[in-house]
Structure 1
Amino acid sequence: MQIFSSVLTNVLASLYQEFFSALVFAFLFMFLYMFAQQNGGYKRAIKIFFINFQKHKSYRYIFYFAFYCAMILFRTLLCRQLWVDPLNNVLGSWSLYDSQGHIQTEGIENFILFIPFTILYFWMISQMKEYKTRWILVHSITYSFLFSICIELLQLLLKLGSFQLSDLFYNTLGGFVGGIIYVCAHKKSDHENKEGKEEV
C-alpha cells in the first residue's frame, strides 16, 4: 500500500508540474495548426514565416521579444520544481549575503533578467510610432511590474516557486533600467542619424 501511495503521489506531482507547460505548448500548437490550415499546409506556413522574417524588421523584433519572454517564463515558472510552501519567504532576499555569510546572487540575477525585457519591448513597438521619453520610463516600470507580478502570482497559485516581494522589486528595477538604456541608445542613434544627414 505504501508503494502504491508513493507511485500515485509522484505521478500526480509530475502531472501537476507539467500541466501548465503542456497547456501553453498545446495553445501555441493550435495557432500553428490554424495558420497552416489557412495557408495551404505546414510547408507553406513555414515558408511564409521565413519570408516575413527576412523581409520585415518589425516581424523580427516581435520574434525576439516573444523569444525572450519565453526564456523568462521557462526560467521563472515553466521549468521550476514543485514547492510545498510558496509563502515560506514572502519578503525574499534583500542582501548580497545570506544568514550564514554566503554570497547570494538571486537579486542581481532578477535585476539583470528584466533589463533586456523592456529594451526589446520598446525596440519592438518603436516600429509603430515614436514615444516620448517620459512615457517610455513610466511604462517600463508598469510593464515590468505587471509581467513580474503575473509570474509571482502564478508561482504562488501553481506552487512552482515562491512568492517573494524582493523578486518583484528587482524585476521592476531591472525593467526601469532597461527603459533608461533604451532611451539613451535611441537618442544617441537619432543624434548620429541627424549628423549623418547634415554631412550629406
Structure 2
Amino acid sequence: MKETIDLLGKILTNTLTALYEPFGFSLLLSFLAMFFYLYAYEPIHAGKGWKNAIVTWYQKFKESVFFRKLFFLSFVTSLVLFRTLLNRNLWMNPLSDVMGGWGIWETVNGEQKLTTECIENVIMMVPFSAVVMWTFGEKIGNSCKKILWYSEKIAFIFSIIIEMLQLFLRVGTFQLSDLFYNTIGGVVGGLMYYVAMNARKRL
C-alpha cells in the first residue's frame, strides 16, 4: 500500500511540476500575444501609447467573451509548446526511440526509472482541447459526436505538427506514443467540454 501511495505521489509531483514550470512564461506570452491581436483588430484604440494599450487590453478582456477565450487558448497553447518545443535539449538522433514512451517505467543503465511523460502528454492536451472547443463551440455545434470528432482531429493534427517540428529542429524525440496519448488527451478534453456545457445548460 505504501509503495502505491509513494508511486502516486511521485506521478502527481512530476505532473504538477511539468505544468508549473512554464506557467509564468505562458501567462506572459499569452498576455503579449493578445496585444498583437488588439493591434490587428483594434489599432485605433490600442495604438496610442502603452498606457492606452493596457487600458484597451483590460477593457477588452472585461467586455469581450471571445477575447477571454482567445487569451485562455493562447495560454494553454503556449503551455503545450513550452513542454514540447521551446524548452527542450537538442538531440543527435530524434528517431532514436520512435516506439518508446508507452509506460510509466523506463530502463536506464539496467535500472527501472519512473517516467510520467505518457501521463503528462494526456494531461497537457486536455485543457488545450477543451479551450479550443469552448472558443469555437458555436461553429462546431452541441452534438457529442461532433465535439469528440473535432477534439480528436485537432489534437492529432496539433500533435503531428509538434512531432514533425521536433524531428526537423532536433528538439526532443519523435515518438508514436506521444501522438497516441496526445490524441487521447484531446478526446478527454472534448468530453469534459461537452459535460461542462450540458451541466451549465441544466443549471
Which TM-score band (shorter chain)?
Answer: 0.7 to 0.9
Cα drift, residue 129 of structure 1: 7.0
- TM-score, normalised via structure 2 length: 0.73
Listed one character per residue, the Cα deviations across residues 81-136 of structure 1 (whole Å, up to 9, x for unaligned) are 11111111011211222233332211111111111111111111235674321111
Unaligned regions of 5+ residues in structure 1, if any?
1-23, 193-200
Alpha carbons 1:58, 1:127 under 8 Å: kept? no
Query: Does 2:133 match 1:122?
Result: yes
- Partner of residue 41 from structure 1, selected from 49, 53, 56: 49
Aligned partner of 2:62 in structure 1 is 54
Aligned partner of 1:64 in structure 2 is 72
Alpha carbons 2:167, 2:174 under 8 Å: kept? yes
User: 1:126/1:45 Cα in 2 relative to 1: closer, same or farther (>3 Å)?
Assistant: same
Query: Does 2:110 match 1:95?
Result: no
Aligned partner of 1:8 in structure 2 is none
User: 1:61/1:41 Cα in 2 relative to 1: closer, same or farther (>3 Å)?
Assistant: same
Aligned partner of 2:153 in structure 1 is 142
Alpha carbons 1:80, 1:160 under 8 Å: kept? yes
| SS, match of residue 84 in structure 1 | coil
User: 1:179/1:129 Cα in 2 relative to 1: closer, same or farther (>3 Å)?
Assistant: closer
User: 1:129/1:83 Cα in 2 relative to 1: closer, same or farther (>3 Å)?
Assistant: closer
User: 1:56/1:94 Cα in 2 relative to 1: closer, same or farther (>3 Å)?
Assistant: same
Cα drift, residue 153 of structure 1: 0.5
Listed one character per residue, the Cα deviations across residues 43-87 of structure 1 (whole Å, up to 9, x for unaligned) are 322221111001112211110011110111111101111111111
Higher alpha-carbon deviation: 90-99 or 116-125: 90-99
User: 1:170/1:54 Cα in 2 relative to 1: closer, same or farther (>3 Å)?
Assistant: same
How far apart are the structure 2 equivalents of 1:129 and 1:86? 36
| SS, match of residue 80 in structure 1 | coil
How far apart are the structure 1 equivalents of 2:34 and 2:68? 20
Higher alpha-carbon deviation: 164-173 or 124-133: 124-133
Q: Percent identity?
A: 38
- TM-score, normalised via structure 1 length: 0.75
Unaligned regions of 5+ residues in structure 2, if any?
1-28
Number of aligned positions between the proteins: 168
Alpha carbons 1:89, 1:164 under 8 Å: kept? yes
